[in-house]
Chains A and B, each alone.
Chain A
Amino acid sequence: MIVLSGVTKRFGTRTVLSGVDLTVGRGQVLCLIGGSGSGKSTILRCINGLERHDAGTIHVGDTLVTPASLPAIRRRVAMVFQRFNLFPHRTVLENVIEAPVHVLGEPLAAARARAMDLLARVDMADHAHSRPGALSGGQAQRVGIARALALRPEAILFDEPTSALDPERVGEVLTVMRELADDGMTMLIVTHEIGFARDVADQVAFVDQGVILEHGAPRDVLTHPREPRTARFLARVLQTPSPL
């Protein structure tokens, strides 16, 4: 479904990704873990073209990611952001129908009805007419997920979806994500939630200094890491207990 091959990205003289290879099959969940500045978010941002990679290829299905193919790619691959990035001048419902109506050109009534279904799915239907500024972080992120689903994407990129949340709000977002995974959504998740990765992911990749240092099934990477760096990272992260 999504295949990265030799993806390299430089910011000026600094190389943030060097030769990243990844394959995520349809319906699979890949969790990317690693320290801050390791390049894991940049991997997601290259897939939907928020950053332009300098070398290597990225395919979504049969489509090569290029500036020309980005509009099509972005309709098929949605994104959920660390800081939610909900449009503050629109209501929750308007945020969810924004892309269906103004990008896909769906009729307003149909888009509204579907948006209400999506909001019900993330348990936010009661807040359809609130402004994002009035929501808690967990509520805002669930709306962010509903907004991503509104495009009927084939895959969703999650860029540290719970990192900006109060600890007691993390669980409600992870629950929604787990349901999506169970429904067969293809998901690439940058996260520090090791427990979630162990339970939900099909594969885990440990990113360090712009390379995939270790990659495999969660029980291998997370419980028996081959690389000392992975082990050190996990020891640091697991000192803070996961809410799940």
Chain B
Amino acid sequence: MSEFLNDAVQFLPVLLAGLAVTLQLTACALALSLALALVWVALGRARFAPWRWIAGTIITVVRGIPIIVQLFFIYFVLPDWGLDLPPFAAGVVGLGLAYSVYQAENIRGGIAAIDRGLIEAGEALGMGRIVLWRRVILPLGLRHALPAMGNSMVMLLKDSSIASTITIAELTRAGQLLAISTFKNGSVYALIALLYLAASLPLAALVRGLERRGRMA
């Protein structure tokens, strides 16, 4: 135990630096995923059918490809086509895109759970499409979707470890490098696990807090 504590004191500065990158990566990818998710949801409910086909195709394709393959594609293949993203940006785009389709499906499910009568009430009050979305459909749909969305957010945090494969020095990669150079696999991976867990707790608490604030009774 005291050996673990010694290791922890020695390794934590490096690992915390990695955690900082993990948190930045997660925050940026989260923002991108939510913004894109709203775009997919809006396209998916557009009156112009081709928009709906585009949204459906994007969701099916992105959902059907492993995140690690998407990251490799963005980081290793796109440069051949002239789009050369730095590792961090490639990680944000890859994770953000991958999670946007999960979040879009979460939001779609939340919207489907809205009592049809509430949408009719908005229509009967003379709301146009935009007001109806802003005042009724999104506030209610997001409330229904929040538990599932929170789940996906925690998964995004953990899946940001996949970005270690495209040279981003986030927590998992920082730990791998430490483990290789010190041979202290046990201490290093235990610390990594604890740090991911610790980072997930505030995120889960945030979602729970939002759920509580959004409670309607």
CA distance A111 to B62 in the complex (A): 47
User: In the bound complex, do residue A50 and residue B124 qualify as a contact, i.e. CB atoms below 8 Å apart?
Assistant: yes
Residue among B121, B131, B139 making CB contact with A89, cutoff 8 Å: B139
Residue among B118, B124, B126 making CB contact with A87, cutoff 8 Å: B118
Point out the residues of chain B lying under 8 angstroms from A83, CB to CB.
Answer: 117
Q: Interface digits, B96-130 against A, CB 8 Å rule (1 contact, 0 not)? A: 00000000000000000001011011111111100
| Beta-carbon contacts under 8 Å, B174-212 to A | none
User: In the bound complex, do residue B139 and residue A85 qualify as a contact, i.e. CB atoms below 8 Å apart?
Assistant: no
Q: A71-B126, A83-B117, A87-B121 are in contact. Are A103 and B139 (CB under 8 A)?
A: no
A-B contact pairs, 28 of them (CB 8 A): A49-B123, A50-B123, A74-B125, A74-B126, A78-B124, A78-B125, A79-B124, A81-B120, A81-B121, A83-B117, A85-B121, A86-B121, A87-B121, A88-B118, A88-B216, A89-B216, A99-B125, A99-B127, A102-B127, A102-B131, A103-B126, A103-B127, A103-B131, A104-B126, A131-B216, A133-B217, A134-B217, A151-B125
Q: How would you classify the secondary structure of chain B's contact residues: helix, strand, loop or mixed? A: helix
Q: Is B95 an interface residue (CB 8 A)?
A: no
Q: Separation in Å of the A216 CB from the closest CB of chain B?
A: 29
User: In the bound complex, do residue B214 and residue A89 qualify as a contact, i.e. CB atoms below 8 Å apart?
Assistant: yes
| Beta-carbon contacts under 8 Å, A112-138 to B | 131, 133-134
User: In the bound complex, do residue A48 and residue B217 qualify as a contact, i.e. CB atoms below 8 Å apart?
Assistant: no
Q: Is A98 an interface residue (CB 8 A)?
A: yes
Q: A87-B136, A89-B140 are in contact. Are A74 and B216 (CB under 8 A)?
A: no
Point out the residues of chain A lying under 8 angstroms from B216, CB to CB.
Answer: 88-89, 131, 133
Q: Is B135 an interface residue (CB 8 A)?
A: yes
CA distance A83 to B128 in the complex (A): 22
List residues of chain A with CB under 8 Å of any chain B CB: 48-50, 71, 74-75, 78-79, 81, 83, 85-89, 98-99, 102-104, 131, 133-134, 147, 151
Q: Is B173 an interface residue (CB 8 A)?
A: no
Point out the residues of chain A lying under 8 angstroms from B121, CB to CB.
Answer: 79, 81, 85-87
Q: A102-B131, A102-B135, A103-B131 are in contact. Are A85 and B123 (CB under 8 A)?
A: no
CA distance A111 to B131 in the complex (A): 17
Q: Separation in Å of the B149 CB from the closest CB of chain A?
A: 16
Point out the residues of chain B lying under 8 angstroms from A103, CB to CB.
Answer: 125-127, 131
List residues of chain B with CB under 8 Å of any chain A CB: 115, 117-118, 120-128, 131, 135-136, 139-140, 143, 214, 216-217
User: In the bound complex, do residue A98 and residue B125 qualify as a contact, i.e. CB atoms below 8 Å apart?
Assistant: yes
Q: Separation in Å of the B114 CB from the closest CB of chain A?
A: 10
User: In the bound complex, do residue B128 and residue A71 qualify as a contact, i.e. CB atoms below 8 Å apart?
Assistant: yes
CA distance A104 to B127 in the complex (A): 9
User: In the bound complex, do residue B126 and residue A99 qualify as a contact, i.e. CB atoms below 8 Å apart?
Assistant: yes
CA distance A87 to B214 in the complex (A): 13
CA distance A113 to B34 in the complex (A): 38
CB closest residue in chain B, given A86: B121
CA distance A103 to B126 in the complex (A): 6
Q: A87-B136, A131-B217 are in contact. Are A147 and B125 (CB under 8 A)?
A: yes
CA distance A63 to B127 in the complex (A): 19
Point out the residues of chain A lying under 8 angstroms from B136, CB to CB.
Answer: 87
CA distance A81 to B69 in the complex (A): 52
Nearest 3 Cβ contacts at the A-B interface: A85-B121, A74-B126, A133-B217
CB closest residue in chain A, given B119: A85
CA distance A88 to B135 in the complex (A): 12
